[in-house]
Amino acid sequence: MAATSPDLAAPRSPYARKKVTRTNYELYSWMFMRASGVVLIVLIFAHLWVNLVAGEGVNAINFGFVAGKWASPFWQVWDLLMLWLAMFHGTNGVRTIINDYAERDGTRLVLKLFLYLAFTVVVVLGTLVIFTFDPCPTDAPADLLASFCTA
Amino acid sequence: MTATLENDTATEPKAGEIPSFEVTLRVRRHLPESAHGEDSFWDEFTVLAHGTDRVLDALHKIKWEHDGSLTFRRSCAHGVCGSDAMRINGRNRLACKTLLKDVNPDKPITVEPIKGLPVIKDLVVDMEPFFASYREIMPFLITSGNEPSKERLQSAEQRERFDDTTKCILCAACTSSCPVFWTDGQYFGPAAIVNAHRFIFDSRDEGGSQRLEILNDKEGVWRCRTTFNCTEACPRGIEVTKAIAEVKRAMITRAF
């Protein structure tokens, strides 16, 4: 009788790292966190100072105030930079937290999909608002509008 | 003044005598072949210990006089072989370098296996994932060309550059204290990076860029969150987090 040797499981599967990645992705992400952090400190604190302290302070904030700021390309670029850097910085931070705390790959995938979805929605909407914002809507009461609205 | 035999001091403690005390050890047991199955449980032992005893002496006393089934690794018992790293009172230490009097023997002392590695029995863990990471960074001298007919010379300053990381005894106290390693065990871990550092900064070695390439992995140095758990756990006093930061810096200067 021809005996076939039974399929024996290996005594133990040798330990292996799941996937080898040899790109500079994590290096750049690490560098970006430090660089964007420094830039964000300047952007955010200047933003807070201009909005809440300078001039009449926090009482000045209304539709007209924001419209006045976004009529100038300088504040458009400033706010766009702040939005993008903060979103990339924050998303990347949450990504590392998910990597650190999610124990199963499935959990990791779902959480990251949610994260990237939220990132996309906020960045697209925010960018759209900054560039398509109409400071002088035609049928709005005049006392709410910025001073340069003549219509 | 010479000592005299007439003085009966048997009842009085002699000057410089080592105090003896009772100490309770709460040991995390894992005995898959017993009725407990795969569940770990706490076991308490009270033994008579002396002021100069280490945690390892107390464990020996338990194994030799109370419960022979208690299992732990130890080899040299003098802090060199790196076999008996365990979690004592919640901190990774070598049982052979931790004096009982230094971990408050008035309260029960907890002894657990190091975290993040699969427990085989009691305090013995499977070190294979740890050594697999160590092997991955190629912990050996890499050179090119013909072998020189004499020693590979190095100045004292060049030797000093990586002196700190030559002290590693591969006890896994650092890697198993790292919260990033606990998550899924995919991170290379501080010990592998320390041993890569030992060769990357060695003037005689030529495999530096290969090792940096390996540690540039998603699970390499960039997963370090600088919590300094490894530096605190290292029984050899290696500045582990600093070594990891130096490897990071070497990678950045290489990339730009």
Q: Could you tell me if residue A29 is inside a domain? A: yes
Which residue does chain B place closest to A93, by CA atoms?
A: B225
CATH 3.10.20.30 domain residues, chain B: 20-125
State how far the Cα of B117 lies from the Cα of B110, in Å rounded to an integer.
Answer: 18
Residue A115: the pLDDT is 97
Contacts of B252 in chain A (CB under 8 A): 27, 31
**Contact yes or no for A103 and B129 at CB 8 A:** no
Query: Does residue A87 form part of some domain?
Result: yes
A72 touches chain B (CB under 8 A): no
Tell me whether residue A18 is in a domain: no
Question: Looking at the complex, does the CB of residue A26 fall below 8 Å from at least one CB of chain B?
Answer: yes
pLDDT of residue B163: 96
Q: Residue B12 above 80 pLDDT?
A: no
Question: Distance of alpha carbon B91 from its chain centroid, rounded?
Answer: 11
Q: Binning pLDDT at 50, 70 and 90, where does residue A117 land?
A: very high
Please check whether residue A120 lies inside any domain of the structure. Answer: yes
pLDDT single digits (tens) B87-118: 999 999 999 999 999 999 999 999 999 999 99
Distance from CA of B152 to the nearest CA of A (A): 32
Q: What digits encode the pLDDT tens for the residues B139-163? A: 999 998 898 999 999 999 999 999 9
Q: Write the CATH number for A83.
A: 1.20.1300.10
pLDDT for residue B169: 96
Strand partners, B25: B45, B109
ipTM value of the model?
0.78
Q: Give the separation between CA B215 and CA A20, rounded to whole angstroms.
A: 10
* Single pTM value for the model: 0.84
Dihedral over alpha carbons B136, B137, B138, B142 (to 10 degrees): 150
Dist. CA A136–CA B181, nearest whole Å: 56
Radius of gyration of chain A (CA): 26
Per the domain annotation, does A7 fall within a domain? Answer: no
Gap from A132 CA to chain B (nearest CA, Å): 38
Residue range(s) of every CATH 1.10.1060.10 domain in chain B: 128-142+157-255
Nearest to A65 by CA among A151, A144, A150: A144
CB B240 within 8 A of CB B190: yes
B128-142+157-255 in CATH: which number? Answer: 1.10.1060.10
pLDDT one-digit tens code per residue, B14-53: 777 889 999 999 999 999 999 998 999 999 999 999 999 9
Instruction: Kindly state which CATH superfamily the domain B20-125 is placed in.
Output: Beta-grasp domain (3.10.20.30)
State whether A24 and B132 contact (CB < 8 Å).
Answer: no
Q: Extract the tokens encoding B90.
A: 């919640």
- The whole domain housing A37 covers 25-134
Q: What domain count does chain A have? A: 1
